[in-house]
A and B are shown apart, each in its own frame.
Chain A
């Protein structure tokens, strides 16, 4: 295995860990490879220019993450991911509502059997899964795809996930087929009013990549998922619809600058409540229109001496059929500095600063500009080998 294949393998493994362990949003750019630990702190704040139009004047989130991966055997490693966050929503009138607490902690194992890669993850139902109605409103906005938030949800009843991936290589082309299942436990979002269980998701993925040479790579891929209906009080209450994600990326290095170009398209099907008479509706649960999301990312990393300077430019757009359309530009700058700690191995600090600006058109013709900023700091430790 070449060094680059090793690197790319680590990256894929991290993708699986993030996706399976409930860690859908990576904090910062650095990967977690085998024998690594990572501590990250992220803070973001958004301000809406026309609070009356969108129903809120500000939204802020602070998230912390600790991930540790330990090799057990050559073919097996295990790890844990612990994350917590605090979101604050400022209403149109200036009042604030806070939702905070743990995300369901995750333990995971990843193994390689022949060419097959398997990841298993278990999320413990210890996250902050309940709150008042207002706190649930605050927690719900974390799922809004337009904002590049570091967390998408808090506790959701724990559960398990498993993914199997089969990478094949022929004539310099890498093809990877993958399939996964995610299942959740019950949780009580509104105290003991009712329990709720997210539907089991089955996902199939395909990735095709080609390393053009040591300095450049192209890759396309995606996945499609079907999800069982969500259940409450032993009845189906919401069918979230099918979801598809497609992406393409090209990465290349020119002298001391590396460039990443990436495009993502994500489609979330319409959500539906069961037809009348088939089950007892859950008050507040409604059919939801389909939603599309797209993003284009340009990332550069330039070596200044031995220190990399990274820039990040991303354009994001969301459209919810018949309801809203919004766009946001994100500009970030960061670096990675080696730091000295009295432990074996190497440690790096990656600070990053971001600014965001965009515009949102919501239902009934209301419109509001949105601006924001964010800072993050990641400390990454690699064991000496």
Chain B
């Protein structure tokens, strides 16, 4: 397949699955600028990794893997690091990135934003109804470990939601 055709095919596929990237951005970014930067970086990394996609797993699973790896490993030095005490500023910034969502989902997003990078990835995959097998495939954790972590994360998230509500 020629490079041009490959590029067109890739862009069309990404356009169809762009909701995955939007969700990851909302979970990992606190401002619109960060969100745009991350979206760009994830798209670029997906394009670079595209030749390695052999269709062994679902495209969405592969896409989650590359995009989450990018979101987790990227070092954004210029990103504003919000301290825990900057709650008000954090909420204002989060509001920028979250459109007209229901109060429940808004709080869920805010709670997820308070988890660490790995916990965010695991809970996002769980919310997306990925199986333990798929979560294990994406993260490299054992299936048993995925289960243990999910139980802990859900408990932590429940406490955070309660506080934020």
Do the two chains bind?
Answer: no
Contacts from A to B (Cβ < 8 Å): none
Contacts from B to A (Cβ < 8 Å): none
